Structure 1
Amino acid sequence: MHITFGINDNMTAFHANSHRTGRCAKSVLFVVYPNIVLLDLSGPLQVFTHARETPQSEPHYRTSVASLAGGAVSTNTIIRIDSDPLENWLNQNTVVSIDTLVIVGGDGAIDAALDPEMVSQVAQVARKATRVCSVCSGAILLAATGLLDGRRAVTHWEDCDLLAARYPAVNVETDPIYVKDGNIWTSAGITAGVDMALAIVQEDLGAQAAIDMARSLVTPMIRSGGQSQFSADLIRQSSDTDGLFTELHRWLTNNLDQQITVEVMAGRCAMSPRTFSRRYVATMGVPPAKAVEAMRVEAARDLLATTDHSMKSTALRCGFRDQERMRRAFHRTLNVSPSLYKSQFRL
């Protein structure tokens, strides 16, 4: 069963809304193609459709969806998406500006990136946009236009190697959930598109508007781009399927500022230090001390990206004791200094 789900607003409605509200809503144009990932579209679309400066304000954005030919476009679910032709936004008589262009991801991105007409029209529309974004494998289509050449970019971890191999001029990063390089934003897979959209709302309307939108979506937090695609908690859970160290990891997360030794961890698990170390390595694949260091780096990167804490304060809060120990741990784990990390991923 296929369902056509029409969600785009045409230009007539766009102008009517602007006239009615007495202001010009910022336009967000989503580009789709056959076999997109539905959540890559619907997640950011939900954010931009309902974001507003205050709860009493009119919606700040006006959303539209376009494809090469227009009409119903298939997704990776039973739902089909209604769309306008991309050429509508290339008409010389069109006065509607494009504030944000979003290239949606999906398995169809590979074929779309090989379609000269599609690539040409996306490139032309992108040149009219103030801000250009991609979600997930939408970065492959965006890279085909040449707009990512010489820029940092990210995509779903499963597609990072493909993006790097096909477009070597792109500086592909494999870990962040989204990357901003100038006026171009790229994001990792699926839910990372929501994180990117919330970050854009914060840039446009301020932190409170983004927080209000996140609350509306029942999102537990606004994540900075520097957070990893690979959930550290999920990785630990997948290694420790029997839950042998679940309580220990929960305690460590809440006590990283304390002095943590193998003896302390062994005592929490009611084991001797020798038995604890052996069983921890066998289960988690890393020595306990390395695991604690990784957790401290995770905590520090979140603080650097989302707070105004100083380097010294961040180091102490995360248990590094001083900035130099934190710097060395960052280089071992992330191959970057804390200060450079903060400059690249500050929310």
Structure 2
Amino acid sequence: MVEQHAEGRIVTPEPVPVAIGRRPEPVHDVAVYAFPGMAPFELGVVVEVFGLARPELTGLLAAPWYGLKVCADRPGTALDAVGGFAMVARHGLDELAAADTVVVPGVPNALGGVGVSPGLVAALRTAHERGARIVSICGGAFALAAAGLLDGREATTHWRYAELLQQRYPRVRVNPDVLYVDDGDVLTSAGSAAGIDLCLHLVRRDHGAKVANSVARRFVVPPHRDGGQAQFIEAAVRPVEEEDDGIARSMQWAMANLSSPLTISALARSARMSDRSYLRHFTARNGTSPMRWVVTQRIAASLPLLESPEGTVEEIAAAVGFESAATFRHHFGRVMRTSPTAYRRGFGHGVA
């Protein structure tokens, strides 16, 4: 463009600087379902993980954090919650159906046979057909089953509901012994606290182990728990004993020496206990055996190494204390339900 001045001189204007930046990546929308009579803990877990501002993650995130919407059949209507208070969801089921991840943290009175909301069933089917990730916590598995999303799949729910879920929906392969099941686009978790495990697993899938570990630290929970629901079924309350200090001391020692050979005898010595007494008290306290716990800690320590482009699988296996890469792959597959190589391909930064 040029300008013709009165004296006949032609002037070309100076170019106007325009700031052109990279187009921001879209936020991953998470929608969580709220309903009358719900227990607030499961909803709170989802809000805490996906809806809380997280300045501590500055510099760790390669993509934006989540956007969270609490959705209900009738948005704007007060929903009575367990504990004598009410909440209001601002968003409806249309927005739930349009989300990238949909979480159902429960259903009304799963044991009593109250039907799942037809509107929720339709929204879940729509979301799934769009390619959304569908997640349930505790009794929320009944909603996913009612929508047909668990047919032919392995799934879990709270151990109190497992038999009923299997009876009502025989096409579902109910596994009552695990904390959660990741079947790709459909994920289910056991009772309330297992929702924390599953939500942290989702963060690990989306953002990697470092970010998931940071979220877990703020939650003050372990980033990954080994073992299943069996350890919680009708378990007697165990009195705290003085020897527990030795158990804690041995666990701290093990964490500082993961790359070294660790045996029951070595752990028991660090706790100043006999092998037999140590095994009994450790299992009673943690719900799993000492060596199974050690394997889980070694797997957890391997995750940030796999996310780095440095080191082969063999070198990482040795660095975290496994005798061989084959042993590492075996235990990694059992705990993470994938291989080290597949994990690195999915979560590694700068890894081809």
Equivalent of residue 135 in structure 1, options 134, 137, 156: 137
* Matches of 2:343 and 2:164, distance apart in 1: 24
Equivalent of residue 277 in structure 1, options 265, 275, 278: 275
Equivalent of residue 40 in structure 2, options 23, 26, 38: 38
TM-score normalised by the chain length of structure 1: 0.64
* Matches of 1:31 and 1:207, distance apart in 2: 26
* Matches of 1:341 and 1:320, distance apart in 2: 15
Distance 1:199 1:340, change over 3 A: closer
Q: Which residue of 2 aligns with 1:242?
A: 241
Equivalent of residue 67 in structure 1, options 60, 66, 73: 73
Distance 1:37 1:95, change over 3 A: closer
Matched residue SS, 1:121:
helix
Distance 1:229 1:70, change over 3 A: farther
Q: Which residue of 1 aligns with 2:157?
A: 155
Q: Which residue of 2 aligns with 1:99?
A: 100
Q: Which residue of 2 aligns with 1:115?
A: 115
Distance 1:335 1:144, change over 3 A: same
Distance 1:123 1:294, change over 3 A: same
Deviations 1:241-269 (A, max 9, x none): 31424223432343243334565455445
**Structure 2 residues without counterparts, runs of 5 or longer:** 1-23, 232-236, 348-352
Q: Which residue of 2 aligns with 1:190?
A: 192
Deviates more, 1:255-264 or 1:52-61: 52-61
RMSD: 4.7
Deviations 1:65-116 (A, max 9, x none): 2036972223222222224695x62xxxx998333322122662445x6426
User: Does structure 1 residue 47 correspond to structure 2 residue 45?
Assistant: no
The structure where helix makes up a greater share of residues is 1
Q: In the alignment, is the contact (CA less than 8 A) between 1:153 and 1:186 conserved in 2? A: yes
User: How far apart are 1:285 and its partner, in Å?
Assistant: 6.4
Deviates more, 1:24-33 or 1:143-152: 24-33
TM-score normalised by the chain length of structure 2: 0.63
Matched residue SS, 2:161:
helix
**Structure 1 residues without counterparts, runs of 5 or longer:** 1-21, 233-237
Distance 1:253 1:214, change over 3 A: closer
* Matches of 1:148 and 1:252, distance apart in 2: 40
Distance 1:337 1:251, change over 3 A: closer
* Matches of 1:140 and 1:301, distance apart in 2: 32
Q: In the alignment, is the contact (CA less than 8 A) between 2:189 and 2:195 conserved in 1? A: yes
